[in-house]
Amino acid sequence: MRVLVISDIHANLTALEAVLDAAPTHDAVWCLGDLVGYGPDPNECVERVSRLEELVCLIGNHDQAAMGQIPRSRFNRDAGSVIAWTESALTDQTRAFLDTLPSRVTMDNFTLAHGSPNQPVWEYILDPVTADRNFEAMKTDYALVGHSHLPLIFQRPFDTSYASLRPIQWDEAMPLSPRMILNPGSVGQPRDGDPRASFAMLDTEDETWEMCRAEYNVNEVQLRILEAGLPERQALRLIGGW
């Protein structure tokens, strides 16, 4: 099965459409959460994702916050103000869809979570120590996570007792080898210095993972952010990828 893996769309419809256009043929879509927050198109993004075929979609911390399930005080001022705007913008239909989303799912040999397998909504896996804690508790060989907006691959083979970071090779199918925690990066707000939308293609039969980028019209989204009255910083960061 060929799976398009996306995460952290953050209400950026232009980036989402670019990824869907750029993605090679696939049989399923796995979306790792944070469909809304930061960006200007929350309802449009949820509607577009909900129409994807063979979809597995998880809830993220921004989705939960926009539903009033996490207090805004847990976010920084900027993110909190966008959450308030998003909360008031969400339609009943969008809420109904977000309300169905699970926080952790197991698909064959893959654990899917927004943050981490251990703490699916809040924990960031940014370092080998946190990766190790998760490897120790994982019941599958692989975990797919988002949340940090950084394309990352941690590996910890069975004969090793510590996790390490693996360099990313773009546009190249990398063979999967047990065990790994993989982050496809962010569709709508990349933070690795590259403004292009980030995603991954997973082949569960060939057992390969390919990291990809899709260019999109950032200026168009920046204008919509400003028109919506959202913080200027959220527009600025898209062009620098931070």
Binding site for Zn ion (CB under 5 A): 8, 34
* Minimum CB–partner distance for residue 37 and Zn ion (Å): 7
For residues 8 and 132, which CB has a smaller minimum distance to Zn ion in the complex? 8
Decide: helix, strand or coil at residue 233. Answer: helix
According to DSSP, residue 147 is labeled: S
Sign of the torsion formed by the C-alpha atoms of 69, 72, 73 and 79: positive
Among left, alpha and beta (phi > 0; psi -120 to 50; other), residue 110 is beta
Which is nearer to Zn ion, 125 or 174 (by Cβ)?
125
- Based on its alpha-carbon atoms, the radius of gyration of the chain, rounded to whole angstroms, reads 17
Whose Cβ is closer to Zn ion: residue 8's or residue 210's?
A: 8
Please report how close the Cβ of residue 234 comes to Zn ion at its closest, in angstroms.
12
- Burial-class residue 181 by CB neighbours within 10 Å (0-12, 13-18, 19+): buried
Cβ proximity to Zn ion: between 34 and 41 the closer is: 34
Closest listed residue to residue 142, CA positions, set 167, 169, 173, 176:
176
What is the nearest approach in angstroms of Zn ion to the Cβ of residue 50? 19
Taking CB atoms, the residue at the shortest distance from Zn ion is 34
Are 5 and 200 a contacting pair, CB within 8 Å?
A: yes
Q: Please, what is the minimum distance in Å from the beta carbon of residue 38 to Zn ion? A: 7
Say if strands 180-184 and 174-175 run parallel, antiparallel, or are unpaired.
unpaired
Task: Tell me the closest approach of the beta carbon of residue 62 to Zn ion, in angstroms.
Answer: 6
Measured from the CB atom, the residue of 112 and 174 that comes closer to Zn ion is 112
